[in-house]
């Protein structure tokens, strides 16, 4: 193709992209493309450029336009392109989730499959020397991340709540919030009841935890030794010679060696158990915790008092709209707020209360006969500052988005639906952790916990830069930022409001760990760092 041809093809492609192609131009374009492979290549590159621009533009709604991510890993706009099919598939898959028994060993994740989904956090370290990247304590790790420890001890807390201590030299690949691959080295796993089903595997064995503490020593030749300190585990040994899998339940104080050519007894068992039982003293970092707590116990008239710790005290009381004295009912702890649809409450937001990493936790009770039109947000919030996007947590009333009645978290246009229906007239504890991506702070990793158990794998939610433009003109939004209970005034059209009960609402300035969420659920107060270490 010569230059005039290229210019003509470029003009035709532009007209095509903009939908202004005339019939004559269409015939000319078809003729050029039919005749020349070079023309087709130009056309395909031009169309791919536009396709990529759709992708970057959707990303730029999240990021500042001056910083396009050169390696865009955010999935292609899900809400636009995914449709209900896969959302339902995800819901079905999660609803049908059972601890795998003879599931084939997955291929180790390669760097190509590494997403932006964080699955675990490095929560403590001692005398660590790392190979390659040196992760910092407090750093969130993506799925596919391989932690390579030359020496020392590292504590990794998975989003499901399982805690692993890795002892160097060792290499551990984080597969998901529920699983990891031990390439070599020693680890100890402590798995609370809410994380039952957590898995550690290597080529010779897959350990499915049944609520316990266990250790594993993996050799580079693929063999592994498993020691159960407390409780029991299910070990699925893989025998490559017989192409078979063997399931063994190992109980407390039992140990087993697994190799690709069959399993056997562990040599020097007692010495190894003694070594793996040695206590490791970690220095846990304790970030300053600031929070506001609305208990609804000291509620009087039109006001529910918000108690702040760390945040500037006072000023965060919730005002009822309309003021109705009969909105207080017996709650999960003390009294709770009852919402009947039109009723809602609004509180001022603590400064920086909605920016950055944070956790929102509360108890809610949704009647079994709540209708889909009553699926408005339980909590929503928005700061009037520029660049902030509205968040909302509620239950899903749209079957095309995922499991009906399950927890729904939305941020701007992005949303995530859990799998467990909430409309059963019982109290449920909800905790949602928001962790901004350090490279693109307006993207959030969202982890939702229902009754202390990780409800859905964390997910990166997109948000809108120009959300105000996209929603209808609603004076309340522009005029009144704040935290709303029982209503999402930031969406249009409004539904009938939330019907159900709300109790013990916490807004916290950092990401609570799964153990802290458990503590909050059980005690209705945040634990001190000392209390967690002692547990």
Partner 1 sequence: MNPQSTSPLQQPDRAKELLMLVTQNQRRIFSYIYALVPDRHDAEDLLQETNRVICEKFDQFTLGTDFVAWACQVAYWQVRAARQKFARAKVVFDQDLMDAVAKTVEELRPELDLRHEALGRCLQKLHPRDRELVLTRYEPGCGVEEAAQRSGRSLDAAYKALGRLRKLLLDCVSQQLDFESAS
Minimum distance of partner 1 from residue 136's CB (angstroms): 27
514, 154, 498: which is closest to 339 by C-alpha? Answer: 498
Minimum distance of partner 1 from residue 102's CB (angstroms): 6
CB-wise, 74 or 154, nearer to partner 1? 74
Token pair in block for residue 47: 């169309």
Minimum distance of partner 1 from residue 171's CB (angstroms): 21
CB-wise, 295 or 442, nearer to partner 1? 442
Q: Is residue 137 close enough to count as binding partner 1 by CB under 8 A?
A: no
Q: Is residue 474 close enough to count as binding partner 1 by CB under 8 A?
A: no
Q: Is residue 86 close enough to count as binding partner 1 by CB under 8 A?
A: yes
Q: Which of 1, 16, 131, 137 binds partner 1 (CB under 8 A)?
A: 16
Write the CB contacts of 309 (distance below 8 Å, at least 6 apart in sequence). 289, 290, 291, 292, 293
CB-wise, 78 or 223, nearer to partner 1? 78
Question: Contact region for partner 1 (CB under 8 A) — 36-44, 257-265, 347-355, 384-392?
Answer: 36-44
CB contact at 8 A, 164 and 189? yes
Number of shown-chain residues binding partner 1 (CB under 8 A): 73
Please list every residue from 115 through 134 that binds partner 1, using CB under 8 A.
115
Q: Is residue 473 close enough to count as binding partner 1 by CB under 8 A?
A: no
Q: Is residue 37 close enough to count as binding partner 1 by CB under 8 A?
A: yes
Minimum distance of partner 1 from residue 248's CB (angstroms): 16
Token pair in block for residue 364: 């809610």
CA distances from 233 to 65, 168, 198, 199, 252 (A): 50, 24, 10, 10, 9
**How far is 412 from 422, CA to CA, in rounded Å?**
23
Q: Which of 2, 4, 24, 71 binds partner 1 (CB under 8 A)?
A: 71
Q: Is residue 240 close enough to count as binding partner 1 by CB under 8 A?
A: no
Burial of 535 (0-12, 13-18, 19+ CB in 10 A): exposed
Q: Which of 1, 5, 8, 17 binds partner 1 (CB under 8 A)?
A: 17
Q: Is residue 106 close enough to count as binding partner 1 by CB under 8 A?
A: yes
Q: Is residue 399 close enough to count as binding partner 1 by CB under 8 A?
A: no
Q: Is residue 11 close enough to count as binding partner 1 by CB under 8 A?
A: yes
Q: Which of 5, 8, 28, 77 binds partner 1 (CB under 8 A)?
A: 77
Minimum distance of partner 1 from residue 188's CB (angstroms): 25
Q: Is residue 72 close enough to count as binding partner 1 by CB under 8 A?
A: yes
Token pair in block for residue 82: 């995914």
Q: Strand 205-209 vs strand 199-201: parallel, antiparallel, or unpaired? A: antiparallel
- Establish how many alpha carbons lie within 13 A of residue 86's alpha carbon, considering only the half-sphere containing its beta carbon: 7
CB-wise, 88 or 260, nearer to partner 1? 88
Q: Is residue 244 close enough to count as binding partner 1 by CB under 8 A?
A: no
Q: H or E stretch including 164?
A: strand 163-176
CB-wise, 62 or 361, nearer to partner 1? 62
CB-wise, 11 or 150, nearer to partner 1? 11
Q: Please, which residues bridge with residue 79 across strands?
A: none
Q: Is residue 249 close enough to count as binding partner 1 by CB under 8 A?
A: no
Q: Is residue 89 close enough to count as binding partner 1 by CB under 8 A?
A: yes
Token pair in block for residue 43: 């056309």
- Establish how many alpha carbons lie within 13 A of residue 70's alpha carbon, considering only the half-sphere containing its beta carbon: 0
Q: Which of 1, 28, 69, 289 binds partner 1 (CB under 8 A)?
A: 69
Q: Which residue has the tokens 């585990």?
A: 233
Minimum distance of partner 1 from residue 473's CB (angstroms): 16
Q: Which of 62, 107, 148, 369 binds partner 1 (CB under 8 A)?
A: 107
**How far is 15 from 34, CA to CA, in rounded Å?**
18
435, 532, 531, 358: which is closest to 120 by C-alpha? Answer: 435
Q: Is residue 55 close enough to count as binding partner 1 by CB under 8 A?
A: yes
Give the SS3 label for residue 236: strand
Question: Contact region for partner 1 (CB under 8 A) — 67-75, 122-130, 265-273, 437-445?
Answer: 67-75
Q: Is residue 34 close enough to count as binding partner 1 by CB under 8 A?
A: yes
Q: What is the DSSP string of 69-135?
A: -SS--SPS-HHHHTHHHHHHHHHHHHHT----SSPPPPPPPPGGG--S-EEEEEEEEEEEEESSS-P
**How far is 1 from 527, CA to CA, in rounded Å?**
71
CB-wise, 98 or 241, nearer to partner 1? 98
Q: H or E stretch including 228?
A: strand 224-230
Please list every residue from 154 through 193 that binds partner 1, using CB under 8 A.
176
Q: Which of 2, 3, 96, 136 binds partner 1 (CB under 8 A)?
A: 96
């Amino acid at each position: 193709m010569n230059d005039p041809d290229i210019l003509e093809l470029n003009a035709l492609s532009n007209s095509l992209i903009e939908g202004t192609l005339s019939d004559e131009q269409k015939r000319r374009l078809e003729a050029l493309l039919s005749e020349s492979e070079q023309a087709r290549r130009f056309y395909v590159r031009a169309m791919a450029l536009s396709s990529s621009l759709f992708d970057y533009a959707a990303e730029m709604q999240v990021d500042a336009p001056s910083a396009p991510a050169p390696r865009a890993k955010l999935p292609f706009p899900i809400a636009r392109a995914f449709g209900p099919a896969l959302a339902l598939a995800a819901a079905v898959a999660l609803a049908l989730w059972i601890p795998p028994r003879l599931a084939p060993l997955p291929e180790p994740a390669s760097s190509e499959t590494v997403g932006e989904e964080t699955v675990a956090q490095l929560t403590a370290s001692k005398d660590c020397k790392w190979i390659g990247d040196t992760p910092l304590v407090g750093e969130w790790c993506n799925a596919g991340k391989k932690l390579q420890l030359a020496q020392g001890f590292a504590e990794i807390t998975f989003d499901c709540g399982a805690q692993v201590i890795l002892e160097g030299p060792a290499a551990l690949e984080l597969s998901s919030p529920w699983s990891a691959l031990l390439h070599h080295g020693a680890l100890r796993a402590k798995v609370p009841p809410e994380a039952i089903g957590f898995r550690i595997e290597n080529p010779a064995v897959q350990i499915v935890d049944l609520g316990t503490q266990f250790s594993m020593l993996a050799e580079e030749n693929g063999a592994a030794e498993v020691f159960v300190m407390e409780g029991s585990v299910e070990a699925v040994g893989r025998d490559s010679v017989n192409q078979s899998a063997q399931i063994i339940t190992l109980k407390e104080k039992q140990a087993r060696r697994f190799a690709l050519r069959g399993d056997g007894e562990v040599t020097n068992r007692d010495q190894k158990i003694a070594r793996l039982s040695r206590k490791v003293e970690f220095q846990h970092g304790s970030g300053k915790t600031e929070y506001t707590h609305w208990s609804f116990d000291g509620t009087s008239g039109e006001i529910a008092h918000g108690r702040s710790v760390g945040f500037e005290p006072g000023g965060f009381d919730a005002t009822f709209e309309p003021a109705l004295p009969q909105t207080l009912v017996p709650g999960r702890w003390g009294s709770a707020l009852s919402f009947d649809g039109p009723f809602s409450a609004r509180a001022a937001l603590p400064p920086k209360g909605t920016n950055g990493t944070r956790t929102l936790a509360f108890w809610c009770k949704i009647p079994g006969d709540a209708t889909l039109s009553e699926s408005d947000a339980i909590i929503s919030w928005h700061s009037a500052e520029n660049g902030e996007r509205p968040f909302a947590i509620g239950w899903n009333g749209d079957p095309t988005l995922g499991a009906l009645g399950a927890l729904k978290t939305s941020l701007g246009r992005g949303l995530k639906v859990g799998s467990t229906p909430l409309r059963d007239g019982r109290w449920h504890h909800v905790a949602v952790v928001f962790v901004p991506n350090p490279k693109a702070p307006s993207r959030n990793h969202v982890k939702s916990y229902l009754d202390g158990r990780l409800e859905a794998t964390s997910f990166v939610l997109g948000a809108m830069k120009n959300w105000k433009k996209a929603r209808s003109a609603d004076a309340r939004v522009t005029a009144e930022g704040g935290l709303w209970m029982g209503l999402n005034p930031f969406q249009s059209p409004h539904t009938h409001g939330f019907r159900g009960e709300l109790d013990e609402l916490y807004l916290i300035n950092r990401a609570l760990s799964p153990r802290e969420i458990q503590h909050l659920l059980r005690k209705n107060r945040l634990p001190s760092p000392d209390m967690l270490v002692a547990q």
